Structure 1
Amino acid sequence: MEWPLSLLDTQIPFYIALSTMALVLLLSLSALFLESLRKIGCHHSLERSAGSDAFFEDPNSLKKVSCPSIFDRAEKYLSLVIPAFNEEHRLPGALVEMLGYLQQRAATDKFFTYEVIIVDDGSTDKTSKVAFEFVRKYKIDNVRVLLLGRNHGKGEAIKKGMLHSRGELLLMLDADGATKITDLEKLESQIYAFAETCRDGKSPAKSQADLRLKLPNIEASIFGSRAHLEKQAIATRKWYRNFLMKGFHLVVLLAAGPGIHDTQCGFKLFTRAAARKLFTNIRLKRWCFDVELVYLCKHLNIPMVEVSVNWTEIPGSKIRLTSIVHMLFELVLIRLGYGLGIWKIYT
């Protein structure tokens, strides 16, 4: 069947216009991604070359305490880094539980020294006021508050806390207390398993004290995981949330590759040597910095282990539909930034 010439004449311009619009849209999206990659790369280069002028405030003496650097020698056994954005209601209960546990361990183990770093990510409520009350009670040597001034994102808050920590081991955990602090010991045991197999030309370690001496030379990342709870969660969640979860896992697999099933659990432990490499390289500031950590561990040859932890859903989640869109955008940035060589990995 032949189309009338007049009909073809009217359709051809339409398809040309449609194709032109699609091409313009594609080029615009490509330009958007490339510009985002360029800006993130430039900002990261400036951060690496600039000195830090951050400090902790001591409400007991009204003095400013200079922030240490991840490149300094460790002064504590453990640093807890807690990102907090508008957490005035959930933070106090979590801190009471954490500090009770830490004090109990410190009382029975003279080598167990700790610090808690609360990173206020530009909160607009009374989060900083709540945090400083704990500084007053437990003193600035044990509890510190880092104020970022404006909201940057969870990834940036954790990065800042890690880069200004003093621990030989560094634990990131959420301000809601969804994961029990006692599960730290599960992650610690994996660190010591690495220490036990570490070959340094010396005699085998005979005690935990001997193993602790090896920690400065060990690179390891231990990821808390809720994967064992997935079947129960699938049975109770709405179908569309399960669909989104499966889709997100697939995109993560494409962006970072296999290795860690639950990248988004906010309970992760790093040796100081591993944290030094990871958090001086990390670029993403919000939701998918966890996925970038997995990518960096693989390319920096930092061993990763996934450990099941106890987890309870706490009301007050800040994930919205727009957050999911932003996650997908960041996953594409990871793939393009590193895949095209625009983002360099420093060793």
Structure 2
Amino acid sequence: MFTIYPQSLHPVKRGNPHPRWPSDSMRRSIVDLEVIIPAYNEATRIPHTLQQTIDFLAGQAWSSRIVVVDNGSVDETVAVVRRISRGQRGIVPVSVVGCARRGKGAAVRRGLLSGTSKFTGFFDADLATPLETLSKTMAHLSRGAAAVIASRHSPGSTFVRPQHLGRRVGGTAFRVLTRSKVKGIQDTQCGFKFFERDALTAAMVQCRSTGFAFDVELLLRLQNNGARIIELPVAWTDGAESTFRPFHDGVASFASVIQLQKATP
């Protein structure tokens, strides 16, 4: 049995326009599935993302909650999500929690560990992976899979809108680098991953990465624990508004994985 205590929220530094709030996780009721959406300066895109997600989840047999993790946004992301949350009185509640540590890995970690639902996972705010993928995901998790991840490179996957050349080349090199670590997984970095709670918690207590190597280390820990990971081919759409910077972030990604290789057996 592992016990995880939610990350404390520290006062914001001077200049941040958003005061810290008590964690919504302390008031969240039990549901079957919590969907985590990490967000950094997503005030423009998040209303569409939330409405699409709410509409999809409302039609499913399982109970759900959406949890937006604000990763230090300096726009109106928090205010927009709270406004939508107050106006959402249906069967899919929306919560928002803060993450004081910067980086998508840290935000995802914060969201995953702040809940108590039997199943939980995350996807990116750009909805690059179709929401309908959740139906197959929940079916696999309900039948005993420990993790279900979307894949852009498994047989049967397609690119609705392909990445530009720089990201394709970088992605190929990254997959070659991680192949010896996470064996049998074609795509460690697709931003759509869902888990059974106990298997996730057992793996997360071993994870140290909070940056670009987070996904790789989490999958590696799951594999080392004997957890069954299902990789689903998807029709993936590259986000035109992606904040990923191929050179700057690509170098950081490679550095993170190389450091992970040195730190793990």
Counterpart-to-counterpart distance in 2, 1:97 and 1:237: 23
What TM-score comes out, normalization by structure 2 length?
Answer: 0.83
- Whichever of the two has the greater Rg, that structure is 1
Q: Distance in 2 between matches of 1:237 and 1:81?
A: 24
1:27-176 to 2 correspondence within 5 Å? 52-54=7-9, 64=22, 67-68=25-26, 75-105=30-60, 109=61, 112-138=62-88, 142-149=93-100, 152-176=102-126
- Paired residues for 1:1-347 under 5 Å: 52-54=7-9, 64=22, 67-68=25-26, 75-105=30-60, 109=61, 112-138=62-88, 142-149=93-100, 152-194=102-144, 220-228=146-154, 240-254=166-180, 256-320=181-245, 321-339=247-265
- Equivalences, count: 250
Q: Identical aligned pairs, as a percentage?
A: 25
Matched residues in 2 for 1:173 and 1:284: separation? 18
CA contact (8 A) 1:162 1:279 kept: no
CA contact (8 A) 1:75 1:167 kept: yes
Query: Residues 309 and 239 from structure 1, CA distance in 2 versus in 1: closer, same or farther, beyond 3 angstroms?
Result: closer
- Say which SS state the counterpart of residue 235 (structure 2) adopts: coil
Letter in 1 for 2:238: E
The TM-score normalised by the length of structure 1 is 0.65
Q: Classify 1:250/1:67 alpha carbon distance in 2 versus 1 (closer, same or farther; 3 Å).
A: same
User: What residue ranges of structure 2 are gaps of 5+ in the alignment?
Assistant: 11-20
* Distance in 1 separating the partners of 2:215 and 2:6: 25
Letter in 2 for 1:130: V
Q: Does the Cα contact within 8 Å between 2:163 and 2:238 map onto a contact in 1?
A: no
Structure 1 residue 166 displacement after superposition = 2.7
Contact kept, 8 Å, 2:162 with 2:238, in 1: the verdict is no
Q: Give the structure with the larger helix fraction.
A: 1
What stretches of structure 1 of length at least 5 have no aligned partner?
1-47, 56-62, 195-218, 340-347
Cα distance in 1 for partners of 2:258, 2:75 equals 33
> 1:272 and 1:90 mapped to 2: Cα distance?
29
* Aligned mates of 2:260, 2:133 — CA distance in 1: 30
Once residues 23 and 105 of structure 2 are traced to their aligned partners in structure 1, the CA distance between those partners, rounded to angstroms, is 24
Work out the CA distance in 2 between the residues paired with 1:263 and 1:49: 25
**Deviations 1:61-82 (CA, angstroms, capped at 9, x unpaired):** xx9466359xxxx921010011
Give the drift of 1:242. Answer: 3.7
CA-based RMSD: 3.0
Following TM superposition, by how much is the alpha carbon of 1:176 offset from its aligned partner in structure 2, in angstroms?
1.3
